[in-house]
Amino acid sequence: MNERLRQLRKKLGLTQQEFADKLGIPRNNIAGYETGKRSPSEAAVALICREFGANEEWLRKGKGEMFAPKIETPADYLAREYGLGDDEVVLIEKFAGLRSGQRRAIIDYMTSVARELYKQ
Longest dimension (CA), the chain: 69
Pick the range with the lowest mean pLDDT from 50-64, 74-88, 91-105: 74-88
| Model confidence pLDDT, tens digit, residues 15-61 | 999 999 999 999 999 999 999 999 999 999 999 999 999 999 999 99
Average pLDDT, stretch 57-70?
A: 93
pLDDT of residue 73: 84
pLDDT of residue 120: 64
Average pLDDT, the chain: 93
CA gap 4, 61 in Å, rounded = 9
Domain extent listing, the chain: 2-61, 74-117
pLDDT of residue 117: 93
CA gap 27, 45 in Å, rounded = 15
- pTM for the whole structure: 0.60
53: region left, alpha or beta (phi > 0 left; psi from -120 to 50 alpha): left
CATH of domain 2-61: 1.10.260.40
Contact between 65 and 51 under an 8 Å Cβ cutoff? The reply is no
Please indicate whether residue 76 or residue 9 has the higher confidence score (pLDDT). Answer: 9
